[in-house]
Chain A
Amino acid sequence: MTAPPASPPSPPSPPSPPSAPPVKRHHWIVRLTHWLTFVVLVGMILSGLQIYGAYARFGERDGPYYAPNPFQDHGFPTWSRLGGWLAGGLNWHFTLMWPLTLGGLLYLSYLAASGEWRSLLFRPRDIRGAIEMQKYYLRLRKDHPPQGKHNPLQKAAYTFIILLGVLSVLSGFAIYKPTQLSWLTALFGGFQAARYWHFWAVWIFTGFLVVHVLLVFIVDPASLRAMITGWYRGRFPSHD
C-alpha cells in the first residue's frame, strides 16, 4: 500500500543502490487481504450497480430525491453490471459481502495485534507533518520531511479509506436490515439516506482506486511487487 513521494531531491536517507538487500515490507495477512479486498470490492461495486438500476434514485417514493445524483433515473451500462438481473446482482452482492467483511475484520485484527496500526493511523499530531509534506509536494520546501513507514499524507489516505470501508459495511447493514437494525438505519438518516451514503462510497472507492494505482506505477512500481511477494527492492526502503 506504500506509495512514497516522487523523486525527492535530497531525502534524509539517500535512495538505496540497486544492490541494496530487499526489505520485508508486508506481512502475508496484509497481502492476502489487500488482493482479496481488491477483487471482492470490484465484484461488490459491479453487483451494486446492477442493484441500483432497479430503482435509480434516492428518496421516499413521492420524492423529493436526494441530490447530487448524476445517475438519477439512469441505469448503468451492461459492461459495468454483475448479475444480469436484480436477483442475480443481489445474490452476488450478498455472497461477496462475506469475504469483504471477514477480510476486513482479519486485516483490522492484524493491524491491532501487530501494532502496525501505529504507522498507519492518522492522528492529530500528524497534521503538522501533513502540512510539511504538502509543502514539499508543492515545491514550497526543498528537503523531504523525515517520515516513518508512511508519510503523514499516506497515513491520512489509508486511514480515510479504512474508515470508508467501515462506513460502507455499516451503511450496507442499514440497507440490508432497516427494520431489525432500525437504530443503525436511523443513524444514517433513514433507509433512503443509507442507500445514498452507500452509493457515494462507491465513487470515493473508485477514485481512490484510480489514484492509488496511478501512484504505484508513476512513483514506485516496486511497491506492487512488495504487495505480492512481501519483499521491497525499490528506491524507497522504509525510513524506520
Chain B
Amino acid sequence: MIDRRALLRLAAGAGTASLVAACGWDGGNAVRPLLLDVSRFNDWVGEKIFFSKNRLAPEYPVAERTARLPSYFISPSLPMLENPSAWRLQVAGLVREPQALSLEQLHAMPRTSYTVKHHCVEGWSAIATWHGVPVSAVAERCGMLPQARYVRFDSFDSGYSNGWDLASAMHPQTILAYGMNDNPLPPTHGAPLRLYSPTKLGYKMTKYLVSLTFTAERPGGYWEDQGYPWFGGV
C-alpha cells in the first residue's frame, strides 16, 4: 500500500524542482542575490584556499599545441588600433610613478614564456605558448603602493575590462603577453598586448589592453558584472 502522505510530499518536492527547471530559472529576484552572495564567498575560497602564489601551472611540450585557438572579442568587428605606434600601456592608480609604456619598453623588460593549457568557462580547453612581461615586473617598475589590493585591466574592445585580486596578478605566470606561439600577438588574440595567466579562466584575461590600474576597491568586469564568477580561478 502506498503511503499517501509520503507520496504527496514527494510529489510536492518533485513538482517544485520541475517548475524551477521549466522556467530556465536563474533564481529570480528572490534567489539570484543569494546565488551571487555564494559566488562572492566562492571567490574568497578560490583566492584564500585553492590559490597559491607559488604553485605553477603545468607546462606542456610545444608539440601539443592546439592548431586553432578560438578568438573572442565583444566588439562587432575585430578591434584594431588606427595608429599602432602611438599605443601606450597606461599604468596608473596606487603607484609612486605612473607610466606610459610603449611596446619597445615592454619588450626590454624581463620576459616570461610558457606553453600552458587554456581553460574556458564554457568547458573547452586548448594549449598554446605565450610570452610577455610579468605583471609583477610592471608593479615593481611603477612602484606599486602598499594600499593596492586589486588591479583593473582596461581595453579598447568596446570597454571590455576585468578586475583582479592582487595575489593572482602578482603570480609569476601572470603576464602581459605580446607574443603567442613564438610570433607577435595577432589581432585576433588581443594585439598589441593582452593579459595571460594559466591560473584564470579565459574571460579574466583582458585582451587589447590600454591600461592597468592599481586600486584599493574591487573593480568589476564585463562578464563579472553580468553574473560570472569574479575570481574565475582554475
Interface residues of A (CB under 8 A from B): 35, 38-39, 42-43, 46, 50-52, 54-55, 60-62, 78-88, 90-92, 94-95, 98, 176-182, 186, 191-192, 195, 217, 221-222, 224-225, 228
Contacts and interface: CB of A to CB of B under 8 A. Distances in A.
A207 to B, nearest CB: 17
A180 B229 CA distance: 17
A57 to B, nearest CB: 8
A52 B122 CA distance: 8
A195 B124 CA distance: 10
Nearest to A92: B35
Contact of A228 (B6, B27, B36): B6
B125 interface: yes
Interface in B95-128: 117, 119-127
B3 A225 contact: yes
A55 B123 contact: yes
What are the 3 A-B residue pairs with the smallest beta carbon separation, nearest first?
A: A88-B26, A55-B123, A54-B122
Contact of B120 (A42, A55, A90, A95): A55
B227 to A, nearest CB: 4
Contacts of B70: 61
B68 A51 contact: no
Interface centre among B20, B66, B69 (most CB of A within 10 A): B20
B119 A54 contact: no
Nearest to B55: A180
Nearest to A85: B26
B72 interface: no
12 contacts: A39-B17, A46-B21, A51-B123, A60-B126, A62-B68, A62-B126, A82-B20, A180-B52, A180-B233, A217-B2, A225-B3, A228-B6
Contact of B67 (A62, A86, A191, A224): A62
Interface size on B, as a range, is 35 or more
Contacts of B25: 82-84, 88
**Chain A facing B: main interface SS:** helix
Contacts of A217: 2
Nearest to B17: A42
Nearest to B7: A224
B226 interface: yes
A88 B126 contact: no
B27 A92 contact: yes
A55 B121 CA distance: 9
Given A60-B66, A95-B34, A180 B1 contact: no
Given A54-B123, A224-B7, A228-B9, A88 B227 contact: yes
A174 B121 CA distance: 14
B87 interface: no
Nearest to B3: A225
Contacts of B1: 221-222
Contact of A61 (B39, B46, B124): B124
Given A79-B22, A95-B34, A95-B35, A87 B125 contact: no
A90 B9 contact: no
